[in-house]
């Protein structure tokens, strides 16, 4: 099987976000970049499928800044075979990103049987690229996957929706699966894996190479800013048992009379 | 004046409230509503009251159950026939799943999870959180039309004023087309309550809950005030609650009217996911816990002692 995984590098979840002076993006100089957490589930699932299907390859594709190719090296250290990087700004809109991923997959010369993505990137939070890529490649997609079973070219995918309810999909390959936490437990890269990954092929492409231009931009993001700070609230001391009753009574009263939410 | 379609998701034939929130912000435009399957008469009356001129009830073979391809294909044919400039829906599990595919079918853009917007003439300008709400950005479109927008539930609020329009209900037949990813079965979640992302009140527990059993006291409080129960990443990673309950950057971003954080210290990635809650109550034994910087009402105390009293106090208030 030709298996592809799409990954993104995002700021670590503990990052304190600071918009740039002109509001065009956020300050990136001191950010610690990590593989998008949901993409780790995608890499792991691809490796599980590869292990179950002899003669499979796992190709990792990323669109983003050239500096720092850790996400691709990490994926290859985990066991992926080769990778493609499309050199582009870190915050392209979803349409350009999906089109660039499609272009890179086509450049690989392999027809995808399975594509795995994370369900969303935790920086732009657009939740669009997997479904868009599926649409552009004219293959079905299932998002927010928490279960994966394969029997030949038939897949059974569990998709998590509201309140933990599960929709069970039946779909044949080729297909795209967008992975959620709970699907599997991503492996750690082994030391030999890390050494081997250094020698695995990483091909860099430009946006022009994959047929993407500024004319493909559909959505513009401008004026990055911090959310407004709330004025400080009220704080009550209730460590002593005797104080709890009075404090709770007052807070519940204020929730009705002042905040008007109950 | 823009020509706009709002896709109204239904649950047991009832329209989800986010559709009314959207309609309330579209006063002055020409607005139609579409749903797939049936909608009860209360819902259609409410849509008319808030500005729906026409309501298209779409049905057809293959549309009995949700599928991203079927829903996308059938709405595409309606949008084609009416030349809408904008198509809106709620950023629910369903909206987030099929709107990108639908936008892609038009080679158009989609602004997702928008929390506020304005129109200048026919031009949309929205506010979209990024980094789970650590930053806000302005989102607008380049030329291609129609343009697609998903709106975060609870973010706009219910409309204050009525804007009654005809709301003529008409059946529309549509083709589901080729459905390659189809639902075979639905396994109901443990919770019958509204999802965290659409909940009006949330009671959330953190690492201080100590174990899964103890979430029972949060369930009891939630039952009294009609809340959905959530959890912090620390609680989920410790195995006290499933990931579907996780609030934060690697869980769900929520915007309820009232968020009650119990034994949650307030890691930056948790605060990002709940800071847009209208009112926040925090209960924590540590007076310096970061959660207190975001709380409207902070109670420094032991959640195991405070929560049961809180429950009784709410019960007395609501009876």
Closest residue to A241, CB basis, from B107, B245, B305: B305
Q: How many other CB atoms are there within 10 angstroms of residue B287's CB atom? A: 12
Segment B267-271 long-range contacts (CB within 8 Å, at least 24 positions apart): B267/A14, B267/B232, B267/B233, B267/B234, B268/A13, B268/A14, B268/A15, B268/A16, B268/B134, B269/A13, B269/A14, B269/B132, B269/B233, B270/B232, B270/B233
* Angle in degrees, 0-180, between the axes of helices A70-78 and A37-52, rounded to the nearest 10: 30
Q: Is B89 in contact with B23 (CB distance < 8 Å)?
A: no
Q: What is the CATH number of domain B3-173?
A: 3.40.50.620
Q: pLDDT for A193-225, tens place per residue? A: 999 999 999 999 999 999 999 999 999 999 999
Asked if the structure places residue A52 within a domain, the reply is yes
Q: pLDDT for B55-93, tens place per residue? A: 999 999 999 999 999 999 999 999 999 999 999 999 999
Asked if the structure places residue A226 within a domain, the reply is no
Structural domain spans, chain B: 3-173, 196-318
Q: Which of A67-76, A87-96, A210-219 has the largest mean confidence?
A: A210-219
Residue among A22, A23, A21, A59 at smallest CA distance from A43: A59
Residues A212 and A240 in one domain: no
The rounded distance, in Å, linking the Cα atoms of B257 and B62 is 38
Mean predicted confidence (pLDDT) in B296-300: 98
Residues A212 and A147 in one domain: yes
Per DSSP, the three-state class of B25 is coil
Q: Please determine, for residue A39, whether its predicted confidence score (pLDDT) is greater than 90.
A: yes
Q: Which residues of A touch B230 (CB under 8 A)?
A: none
Alpha carbon of B309: minimum distance to chain A alpha carbons (Å) = 7
- pLDDT, position A68: 66
Q: Give B254's DSSP letter.
A: -
Alpha carbon of A132: minimum distance to chain B alpha carbons (Å) = 5
Q: Which residues of B touch A251 (CB under 8 A)?
A: 281, 297, 299, 310
The rounded distance, in Å, linking the Cα atoms of A70 and A85 is 11
Q: CB contact, 8 Å: A214 with chain B? A: no
Q: Which residues of B touch A226 (CB under 8 A)?
A: 134-136
User: What's the token pair of residue B181?
Assistant: 């990813």
Closest residue to A128, CB basis, from B68, B100, B269: B100
Contact B105 A262 (CB under 8 A): no
Residues A175 and A240 in one domain: no
Tell me which of A183, A248, A258, A260 to substitute to probe the interface with B (most B C-beta atoms closer than 10 Å).
A248
Alpha carbon of A212: minimum distance to chain B alpha carbons (Å) = 13
**Is residue A67 very low, low, confident or very high in pLDDT (cuts 50, 70, 90)?**
confident
User: The complex's ipTM?
Assistant: 0.93
Give B196-318's CATH code, choosing from 3.30.1330.10, 3.10.20.30, 3.40.1210.10, 3.40.50.1220: 3.40.50.1220
Closest residue to B300, CB basis, from A131, A235, A241: A235
- B196-318 shares the fold of B3-173: yes
Residues A170 and A244 in one domain: no
Backbone angles phi, psi at B85, to 5 degrees: -85, -35
CATH code, domain carrying A157: 3.40.50.620
Q: Give B243's DSSP letter.
A: G
Domain enclosing residue A253, as ranges: 232-262
pTM of the predicted structure, to 2 decimals: 0.93
Taking one residue from A and the other from B, the number of pairs with CB-CB distance under 8 angstroms is 281
């Amino acid at each position: 099987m030709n298996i592809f995984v799409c990954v993104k590098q995002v700021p670590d979840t503990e990052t304190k976000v600071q918009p740039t002076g002109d509001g065009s993006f956020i300050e990136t100089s001191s950010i610690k970049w990590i593989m998008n957490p949901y993409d780790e589930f995608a890499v792991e699932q691809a490796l599980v499928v590869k292990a179950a299907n002899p003669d499979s390859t796992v190709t990792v594709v990323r669109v983003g800044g050239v500096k720092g190719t850790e996400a691709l090296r990490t994926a290859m250290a985990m066991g992926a075979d080769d990778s493609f990087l499309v050199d582009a700004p870190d915050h392209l809109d979803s349409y350009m990103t999906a089109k660039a991923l499609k272009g890179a997959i086509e450049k690989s010369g392999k027809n995808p049987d399975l594509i795995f993505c994370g369900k969303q990137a935790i920086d732009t939070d657009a939740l669009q690229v997997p479904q868009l890529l599926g649409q552009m490649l004219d293959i079905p997609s299932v998002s927010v996957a928490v279960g994966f079973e394969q029997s030949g070219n038939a897949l059974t995918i569990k998709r998590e929706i509201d309140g933990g309810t599960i929709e069970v999909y039946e779909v044949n390959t080729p297909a795209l699966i967008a992975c959620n936490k709970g699907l599997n437990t991503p492996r750690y890269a082994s030391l030999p894996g890390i050494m081997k990954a250094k020698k695995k092929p990483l091909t860099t492409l430009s946006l022009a190479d994959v047929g993407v231009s500024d004319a493909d931009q559909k959505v513009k993001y401008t004026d990055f800013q911090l959310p407004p700070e709330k004025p400080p609230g009220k704080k009550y001391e209730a460590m002593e048992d005797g104080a709890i009753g009075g404090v709770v009574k007052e807070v519940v009263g204020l929730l009705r009379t002042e905040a008007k939410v109950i | 004046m823009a020509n706009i379609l709002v896709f109204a998701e239904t649950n047991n034939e009832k329209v989800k409230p986010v559709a009314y929130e959207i309609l309330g912000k579209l006063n002055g435009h020409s607005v139609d509503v579409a749903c797939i399957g049936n909608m009860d008469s209360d819902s259609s009356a409410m849509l008319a009251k808030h500005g729906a001129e026409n309501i298209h009830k779409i049905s057809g073979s293959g549309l009995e159950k949700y599928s991203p391809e079927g829903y996308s294909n059938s709405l595409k044919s309606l949008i084609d026939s009416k030349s809408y400039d904008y198509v809106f829906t709620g950023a629910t599990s369903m909206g987030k799943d099929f709107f990108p595919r639908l936008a892609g079918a038009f080679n158009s853009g989609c602004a997702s999870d928008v929390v506020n917007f304005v129109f200048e003439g026919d031009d949309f300008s929205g506010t979209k959180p990024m980094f789970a709400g650590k930053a806000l950005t302005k989102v607008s479109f380049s030329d291609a039309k129609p343009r697609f927008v998903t709106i975060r539930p609870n973010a706009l609020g219910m409309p204050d004023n009525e804007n009654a329009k005809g709301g003529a209900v008409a059946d529309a037949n549509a083709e589901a087309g080729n459905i390659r990813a189809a639902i075979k079965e639905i396994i109901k979640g443990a919770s019958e309550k509204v999802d965290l992302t659409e909940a009006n009140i949330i009671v959330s527990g953190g690492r201080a809950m100590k174990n899964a059993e103890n979430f029972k006291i949060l369930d009891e409080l939630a039952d009294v005030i009609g809340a959905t129960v959530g959890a912090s990443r620390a609680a989920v990673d410790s195995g006290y609650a499933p990931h579907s309950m996780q609030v934060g950057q690697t869980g769900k971003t929520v915007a309820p009217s009232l968020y009650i954080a119990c034994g949650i210290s307030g890691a930056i990635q948790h605060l990002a996911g709940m800071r847009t809650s209208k009112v926040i109550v925090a209960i924590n034994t540590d007076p310096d816990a970061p959660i207190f910087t975001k709380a409207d009402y902070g109670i420094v105390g032991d959640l195991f002692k405070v929560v049961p009293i809180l429950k009784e106090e709410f019960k007395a208030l609501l009876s």
